[in-house]
Amino acid sequence: MEKDRGHPNRLGIWGWIGGGSWGPDRYLYTLHRITGLGLLFYFVVHIFVTSSRAIGQSAWEESMMRVTGPLFVLGEYLVFVAVAFHAINGVRLVFAELGLGIGKPIEPIYPYRTCLDDQRPWAIGALLLIVALVVVGALDFFVWH
């Protein structure tokens, strides 16, 4: 086939991050993916760490000893931030991917309006909510304790 003589020209993973028109929805997609993977990784470790409570108080306290210190506090805060982002943006996605908040099909008249314009207020609202959670979380993690 001529295909073999041509050049494949696929963007590859680079295309997951950029390479389109660099719209804000692209960054939300990338962050959703990164936070999802980060949470999954944390969760698997978490299952092992918290399982020590089945053995008893000393095993639990020993495993909790192993995950103390400023680095772990920061790590747990990042998990909290990841949950805040993935959860709130996830709710937005659940609605959007079920066709809610993206507008009805319209007559395309220039300058074109797209579902991204209908989505924008929801995305901004979600981001504000995330920021609020991140701030309250920071106070709870680092100030009120």
Partner 1 sequence: MSNGKVPEQIVFRIRRFAPGRDMEPVWKDYTIAYEAGMTVLDGLWKVKESIDPTLAWRASCRMGVCGSCGMLINGKAGLGCNTQISELATSVVTVAPLSNFPIVRDLVPDLRPLFDAHTALSPYIIRSDSSEQEEPTGEYYQSAEEMESYLQFSYCIKCACCMAACPTCATDPIYSGPVALAQAHRYNTDTRDDGFEARKDVLAGEAGPWRCHFAGECSRVCPKGVDPAKAIQLMKRQLVADALGLRKKRLPAELAKKPDGIERRPDIPEAPAPTV
Partner 2 sequence: MRDQKLWTWHLAAGVIILFLLGLHMAIMHLDALLGIFNPAGGHPIDWANVVARGQSLAFTTTYILLLGTALFHGLYGLRNILFELDPAPPLKKALSWVLILVGVGLFIFGTWAAWVGYQVASQA
Closest CA to 141 of 89, 83, 81: 81
Residues that bind ligand HEM (CB under 6 A): 32-33, 36-37, 39-40, 42-43, 46-47, 50-51, 53, 76, 79, 83, 86-87, 90-91, 93-94, 97
The window from 58-66, 71-79, 106-114, 136-144 that contacts partner 1 (CB under 8 A) reads 106-114
CA dist list (Å): 76 to 65, 66, 118, 135, 139: 14, 14, 35, 15, 14
Q: Is the dihedral of CA 101, 21, 81, 128 positive or negative?
A: negative
Question: What is the smallest separation between the CB atom of 106 and ligand HEM, expressed in angstroms?
Answer: 24
d(CA 7, CA 102): 37
Residues that bind partner 2 (CB under 8 A): 13, 33, 36-37, 39-40, 43-44, 47, 50-51, 53-57, 60-61, 64, 76, 80, 83, 87, 90-91, 94, 97-98, 136-137, 139-141, 144-145
